[in-house]
Amino acid sequence: MPSTDAYRLSSPAIFLVRMAVFLILVAFVALILYRQIETAFMANPGLNGLILLVELFGIVLAVSQVTRLFREIAWVNARVAGPEERALVRPPALLAPMARLLGGEKRAMSPQMLRLVMDSLGTRLDESRETARYLTGLLVFLGLLGTFWGLLETVGSIGGVIASLQGGGETASLFNDLKTGLARPLAGMSLAFTSSLFGLAGSLVLGFLDLQAGQAQNRFYTELEDRLSADVEAEKAAVTPADSGDSIDHLAAGVQSLVRNMRHEQQLIRDWVEAQAERQERLQSVLEHRLAAKNVEPH
């Protein structure tokens, strides 16, 4: 039964299919050019073997970057399901901070928490792709290393050929020495170009796989952000008119209580002022009587 959740995260299987199709095409081309590739590989088995090992490791890493998203997507989609389905899903790895904050419950996050989780996820995704990018550059470097290695051998061999021609001798002997001497520079050039060929071809393969892994991660990041943002908005919209009315009633009651307290305090102040005024009038009356009594006494 198809899911009715409009913000359900989609599966990254399509990116694995693209990777598989691309690798099958590369293997088919390698099978067709098997003889030529074997000859080129044997020009420098050590360096070319290292290049192939780095490429194999990069392929496994790129595929693992996509497959690890299945676990994260299953956990996020299970949050909107029942507790039984959530219990069957393994806890996430990339979204571990989010899992700890929410405790596996179906509840929305605050906007500040949402921004914190998305920033943490973006950092983790970028860090996971750093190794793949380094391996792509490493393949180019190894190819260039083989190129300069072969050129150094070529230059040294050419110097040896020139030195052998300066010795003089019969023409036939010189011609044979020349043919023998030119074989070494040609071997050096073969080493240089085959290493570059394997390095650039390997970087091409890893570059495409890293592109697919990056697209899968970007779609996961975008869909997750939409999912969590929708949860935040739904939480805000979940406040019913009755709840709003109760809040207004409580606010009105609080305001009325505050007004009554203010009026009571004003009345106390007014009574105190009137009592002080009355006391002052009595004191003034007493003083006036005493002054009048002193004035009528005989001298």
**Residue boundaries of the structural domains of the chain:** 13-238, 241-299
What's the 3-state SS for 198-217?
Answer: HHHHHHHHHHHHHHHHHHHH
Q: What percent of the chain has pLDDT over 90?
A: 23
Q: Of 72-86, 179-193, 273-287, which gets the smallest average pLDDT?
A: 179-193
Confidence (pTM) = 0.67
Q: Give yes or no for residue 169 having a pLDDT over 60.
A: no
pLDDT band at 1 (very low <50, low <70, confident <90, very high): very low
Q: Of 173-187, 227-241, 250-264, which gets the smallest average pLDDT?
A: 173-187
Q: Which two tokens stand for residue 158?
A: 């050419």
What is d(CA 222, CA 100) in angstroms, rounded to the nearest whole number? 21
Which residue is listed with tokens 């001798």? 169
CA 175 centroid distance within chain: 65
Q: What angle do CA 234, 239, 240 make, to 5 degrees?
A: 125
- Measured in degrees and rounded to the nearest 5, phi and psi for residue 45 equal -60, -35
Least Cα distance to 205 among 60, 38, 49, 73 occurs for 60
What is d(CA 70, CA 76) in angstroms, rounded to the nearest whole number? 10
Q: What is the mean pLDDT of the chain?
A: 77
Least Cα distance to 86 among 95, 94, 77 occurs for 77
Q: Give yes or no for residue 84 having a pLDDT over 70.
A: no
Q: Which two tokens stand for residue 97?
A: 């901070």
